[in-house]
A and B are shown apart, each in its own frame.
Chain A
Amino acid sequence: MGGAILAYLAKRITPMLSSIVSFLAISSAAVVFFTMTSSTDVVTVSVRNFTLQFGLNAYSWVFAAMVMGISALVSLYNIAYMSGKDRLGYFNLNFTLAIMSMMGIVFANDWISFFIFWEIMTWSSFLIVVYNGIDEGKIGTKYMIFSAVGGYAMLMAIVITNSQIDSFLIADLINAYPTFGHGMQAMIGILFLIGFSVKAAVMPLHVWAPRAYSDSPMSFTAIFSGLLSKMGIFGMAIMFISVFSKASIGDTFIYSQVIAWLGGVTAVMATFYAVIQKDAKRLLAYSSIAQLGYIVTGLAIGTKLSVMSALFLAVIHALYKGILFMAVGAVERQAGSTNLEQLGALIRKMPWTFFSALIAAIALAGIPPLGGFVGKWMLYESMITSTNPSHLFLVILIFLSSTAAFLYVYRLLFGLFLGQEEPEWDHVKEAPAPMVIPMVLMALTLILLGYAPGLLFEPIANGMEFLGFENVGWQMSSLSNIWGDTVDMQYVWGSVVTLFVLGAIFITIKNRKSTRYVTTKDIHTSGEIPEAHENLTYAVDFYKPFERAIEPVMRKTMDFYYNHFGNGLESLFGFVRKIYTGNGQTYAMYVVIFLVILLLIGEQIFK
């Protein structure tokens, strides 16, 4: 079944030269996927003595569905977004390849195919990052190096595993893991985690992410941040739930603690950075890192509720971050800028974009009654009900990050859509329908998931059961923690929506005839008449007081990163760039060479 889809995709790759074809390919693949996933066939492809095995299980179904659904919508958006740009063939090839490879990762049943698709994903996304032709600020290189480190780590782990159990199958590793020695357990675990953490942009390995997210074309960033990073989560979840939980107790504890706190710190720091950003794309990029931090924390805690929340958040994050990146992309395309300090008042020009961005922002902030809240709630409850005291302190970090998220969410909406209407943006019009439709559809999905999160719980619960949890309970619209406390989303949703509609109706019909719209120039300016060139939008350094308040924290980390870590990396790049030409083929060649070397000498080393 999976192979069928892959073949279907592969067939399409070559002739694909336009976005439309890419959309058709992906959406038809999506259609095929969603209509024919009942079977769980396993396809085995044998290449000489490697056996590649593909198949779908309940767990990977969640990710596969997410990838297919969202990338189908994004590729529709992509048609309009990319129209009129250069090198469409190049872009769309890589775009489709990235999506295809994600499917491949999800479908992979053994580490080799997993790794191959992982690398295809890496370099296709790398090629899109450097799509503009210029590698400004060495983002592409940075991304490549981090991915390479991650890739090598993973490869090494795979080879070690193979040397231990003589099998590449994921299931075999899961079964054999408890039998490993203490050091081996740790080594494999850490190496895999490094590999996945790079993609999930966990704190020490996140350096590549903000620029790479913000500098690639927005239609791809929606995929990049929404889905591609989730592949890291996909792997991590397997590691945490199926593998680590079977390690000796002390180790599990340490892994989960370290990773959970790393996730928490990632969330807080990235949120702080997001708050002080001046560019919408960069803001969203940091926000993505922060949100991935929650998910990692959720996985690391490892209780039923927390894993469910992590997986739920992973899907929801793909939805709302997808919308936000697409909305920013729409603004970028229509207005030609994403600078939060210059743009403003696009709400009257791009109402639909605003609507979807608003819904996504509310979901991101975790405010009821949308889907985002469900995930956040489960995460908090899982931490509060946790028996481990350190999680109780961690919950404060997560809360801090989550509250500070309101700041950047507001800044984003305010900077792009609200504020003074300036004549320089008069020409802006609503984005074309292919861009608006996916956003609105995804926004409606978010609203629906707020009403009935159970729609998503069902596959996630199945997936978790596949991973090794037992009796993962779920209800259509009611959330509950292990203390038996519940939140009934149906009532929440119902009351919020009813009250809001009533309030809106009331305020509209009251004095309707004598309520009038006035332009934003007609504001209270202490009785003075502003001159034309005077700027009345308060958008520059919007959170200056907050910046000053968090300055001590920020200064320390900034020093740490940029002076020590950053400088070290820069010099490393200088050296590494001699080896890496920035060319994907060369890189692939290196990978192959490395693989061969490892295969040749691996057995001697690890025997």
Chain B
Amino acid sequence: MKREKATTLYLGPQHPGITGNMMVKLKVEGDTIVNSTTHVGYLHRGFEKLMERRNWLQSFTIVCRICVPEPDPNEENYARAVEEIEGREVPERAQWIRTLVLELARIGTYLLWFAGQSGSAGLYTMGQWSIGDRDYVLDLFEELTGGRVYHMYIWPGGVRRDLPEGFEAKVLQTMDYLEKRLIQYDKLMFDNTIFQKRAMGVGWIDPEKAIEWGVVGAPLRAAGIASDVRKDDPYEVYDQLDFEMGHATTSDVWGRAQVRRFELEQSINLVRQIIEKMPKGEYYNRIPNPMKWVVPAGDAYVKTESARGEFGYYVVSDGTNKPRRVHIKGPAYVHAMTLLEDMLKGANVSDVSFIMNSLGTCPPEIER
């Protein structure tokens, strides 16, 4: 076969610049990319197959492992889908606690994203700070759920346990701390002219086509399109909370960074609101013996706004004690595949990792 003219660059799977275990094969001429293809499957575990073999509650251990940085939206989605099929009521306090957990998870993910976005531009100090601060959020999770990363906390019918004593105060304390740190982050990252130079005008998505191409989450909001599942299709108690969506019109990496930066602030605000408004009461509508727990036949499509975009769960039950089909669609399913491939054409090699981070690609949810 004739040798290609363009040089092949393998960005991943064993590469510091790739987000997770995936591969983007770049064909470059000079340092301009002429073609790129995303290759996934390095993390494929066959979750959806495994869930067919496990009962409704066992599947919980699997669901949260679909997205490593932010497992809670998955748990919440799955729980809500099951509840919708079964028609199970969820106590109000449980809904508030779920919202609290989701927002904490969002904060944690945004902090992790700060690290990724700045690290791919060479600003490692930011990553060190924000991941260090994320650990305080993880500490909260650990106290609440017993797990640092995988929580398995939001169950069908409510949450696994009530808030521990004094938890609210700790949360508020952490939020105060994070708000203070945010000023420093601004100084280090968002007010940094070099970062601005790197980010502005890079990774542009056509706002006209964004919806059609399946862009969701912060990239869509950065394109000037107000779209947030929390507003559009409110779940849990988001309709009782007061918050704003991030907004930018530049539709580039800089816009996405600003949207996320703004939403981090909003999330801190939301957590405070939740703590303030949280009612007392039951936290769990107990399910029957999990081994014999049968969910009536039916299907449900539910979605959540995670930090990286919209998570959709299509759950089908055939009336047995095991799910028929749980099909999960994460934001990266579109972002990292067709969208990224299109965006990278004509981009600079220096910007690949940068753009990928701004889209919030995360391979486990593509492959499951």
Name A's B-contacting residues (CB within 8 A). Answer: 341, 422, 424, 525-528, 530, 532-545, 547
Contact = CB atoms under 8 A, between A and B. Distances in A.
B91 interface: no
Nearest to A545: B31
A536 B12 CA distance: 15
B5 A544 contact: no
A341 B5 CA distance: 8
Contacts of B169: none
A530 B8 contact: yes
Interface string B11-35: 1111100000001010011111000
Nearest to B34: A540
B14 A534 contact: no
Contacts of B30: 540-545, 547
Contacts of B8: 530, 534-536
B29 A541 contact: yes
B4 A533 contact: yes
B23 A528 contact: yes
A125 B143 CA distance: 87
Contacts of B5: 341, 535, 540
Contacts of A532: 1
A530 B1 CA distance: 13
Given A540-B7, A544-B32, 20 more contacts: A422-B3, A526-B11, A526-B13, A526-B14, A527-B10, A527-B14, A530-B8, A532-B1, A534-B4, A535-B4, A535-B8, A536-B7, A537-B7, A538-B7, A539-B7, A540-B29, A543-B30, A544-B29, A544-B31, A545-B30
A530 B3 CA distance: 12
Interface in B215-255: none
B269 to A, nearest CB: 41
Nearest to A423: B3
Q: Which of A530, A535, A541 has the most CB of B within 10 A?
A: A535
Contacts of B15: 526
B174 to A, nearest CB: 38
Contacts of A536: 7-8
A16 to B, nearest CB: 44
B23 A526 contact: yes
B228 to A, nearest CB: 36
A533 B1 contact: yes
Contacts of B23: 526, 528
Contacts of A547: 30
Contacts of A534: 3-4, 8
B280 interface: no
Contacts of A527: 10, 13-14
A387 B4 CA distance: 56
B354 to A, nearest CB: 16
Contacts of A528: 10, 13, 23, 25
Contacts of A424: 3
A525 B12 CA distance: 8
Instruction: Pick from B10, B23, B25 the residue with the most CB of A within 10 Å.
Output: B10
25 contacts: A341-B5, A422-B3, A424-B3, A526-B10, A526-B13, A526-B14, A527-B10, A527-B14, A528-B13, A530-B8, A533-B1, A534-B8, A535-B3, A535-B4, A536-B7, A538-B28, A541-B30, A541-B31, A541-B32, A542-B30, A543-B30, A544-B29, A545-B30, A545-B31, A547-B30
B2 interface: yes
A538 B9 CA distance: 9
Nearest to A538: B7
B6 interface: yes
Counting contact residues on chain B (CB < 8 A from A), the size range is: 20 to 34
A528 B12 CA distance: 8
A424 B1 CA distance: 11
Nearest to A532: B1
Give chain A's interface secondary structure class.
loop
Contacts of A535: 3-8
A527 B7 CA distance: 17
A300 B5 CA distance: 45
Contacts of A542: 30
Contacts of A538: 7, 28
A533 B14 contact: no
A337 to B, nearest CB: 13
Interface in B25-79: 25, 28-32
B9 to A, nearest CB: 8
Nearest to A539: B7
Given A526-B15, A527-B14, A528-B13, A540 B6 contact: yes
A438 B25 CA distance: 46
A527 B15 CA distance: 9
Nearest to A526: B10
B12 A526 contact: yes
Contacts of B25: 528
Contacts of A541: 29-32
A466 to B, nearest CB: 51
B3 to A, nearest CB: 5
B13 A533 contact: no
A532 B29 CA distance: 18
Nearest to A530: B8
Contact of A533 (B2, B7, B31): B2
A7 B2 CA distance: 56
Nearest to A534: B8
A28 to B, nearest CB: 48
B321 to A, nearest CB: 41
Q: What are the nearest 4 A-B pairs in CB distance?
A: A544-B30, A541-B30, A533-B1, A527-B14
Contacts of A422: 3
A535 B4 CA distance: 6
B197 to A, nearest CB: 14
B339 to A, nearest CB: 22
A534 B2 CA distance: 9
A341 B3 CA distance: 12
A533 B10 contact: no
A547 B23 CA distance: 29
Nearest to B25: A528
A405 to B, nearest CB: 20
A342 to B, nearest CB: 8
Interface string B188-201: 00000000000000
Nearest to B18: A526
B254 to A, nearest CB: 20
Nearest to B350: A545
A534 B3 CA distance: 6
A422 B31 CA distance: 22
Nearest to A544: B30
A163 B15 CA distance: 77
Nearest to B16: A526
A528 B29 CA distance: 20
A186 to B, nearest CB: 47
B302 to A, nearest CB: 37
A533 B3 CA distance: 5
A527 B12 CA distance: 8
Nearest to A547: B30
Nearest to B2: A533
A544 B12 CA distance: 23
A525 B32 contact: no
Contact of B10 (A525, A539, A544): A525
Nearest to B21: A527
Contacts of A537: 7
Contacts of A533: 1-4
Contacts of B10: 525-528, 530
Nearest to B4: A535
Contacts of B4: 533-535
Interface in B300-358: none
Contacts of B28: 538, 540
* Most chain A CB neighbours (cut-off 10 Å) among B1, B25, B30, B32: B30
Nearest to B8: A534
Contacts of B14: 526-527
Nearest to A424: B3
B349 to A, nearest CB: 9
Contacts of A341: 5
A540 B3 CA distance: 13
